[in-house]
Amino acid sequence: MAVNLSTEIAGIKLKNPVMVASGTFGYGEEYSELMDLSHLGALITKTVTLKPREGNSPPRLCETPSGMLNSIGLQNEGIDVLIKERLPFLAKFNVPVIVNIAGDSPEEFAELAKKLDKVQLVKGIELNISCPNVKHGGMLFGVDPKLTAEVVKAVKKATMLPIIAKLTPNVTDIALIAKSAEDAGADAVSLINTVLGMAIDTENWKSKISAGPAGLSGPAIKPIAVRMVWQAAKAVRIPVIGLGGIMTADDAIEFFLAGASAVQVGTANFVDPEASVKIIDGIRSYLEARKLSGIKDIIGKANV
């Protein structure tokens, strides 16, 4: 039986359910020399803001057991440079482009969405209301259901593009936040972003990250991510996109069983630039071995 990996998330047609996560794949150009971007289900760009940002002071990255800490601080060139200089490169690849945006207010999110609404290449917008490494905006919106709703509503009024709300794990009730995003008009939710963590150098007693607390990603957070995806999928009717520590096809399968309709691969891209393609192939092999027709046959089928 031939396996059909194609799917549709929030109106975005994907040839397979594997995306690359924002902040781990640049703008795609960096990886294009190492792999064929057209194999991806979708490409999500690095977070963009209205104006350029320098980001946080180094050191901004450090390895940890089964993961890594980062506090980049949303360094980027700004929305105008993204539209004029970065996105045109991706037009030659057969891959849906989703732009991840961040603002200091619902109005800034809306202004970014308006600019992207006119760009034909862009198929969707992911709202970064979950970054733990900025002083304004970011996770501050994602830990409060009312603020989550305000951002989603503002963007919904500004664009016809599908909206994906990217949620933070640093909350007590992920289902409440996911439901708030859905009720406000989000077309899908993606989770989880990084978990707050910290590392200290025992030789010099200094934080290994200049900002102190930072975002933990990688295999260490996968059990947290799977649990939260399972909870969110039970709370909402819109598609749930799972991410957090996915390194192999088997990891991705866990998220599908928990209720995710698609997945994003993040930290694994730093370890192996072709990780996403290998995961796609592994998912196909998994389904073929069980004579299943597609992903829909396993979504939410975990026996809990």
| Cβ atoms of residues 46 and 76 within 8 Å | yes
What whole-number distance in Å separates Cα of residue 283 and Cα of residue 131?
29
The two three-digit tokens of residue 17, written as one number: 């359910």
The two three-digit tokens of residue 57, written as one number: 């002071």
CA dihedral 174, 177, 180, 186 (to 10 degrees): -90
The two three-digit tokens of residue 140, written as one number: 């501050």
Largest CA distance in the chain: 59
Q: In a 10 Å sphere around its CB, with 0-12 CB exposed, 13-18 middle and 19+ buried, how is residue 270 labelled?
A: middle
What whole-number distance in Å separates Cα of residue 194 and Cα of residue 98?
19
Gap between the terminal Cα atoms of the chain: 29
| Residues 6+ positions from 104 with CB-CB distance below 8 Å | 136, 137
Catalytic residues: 131
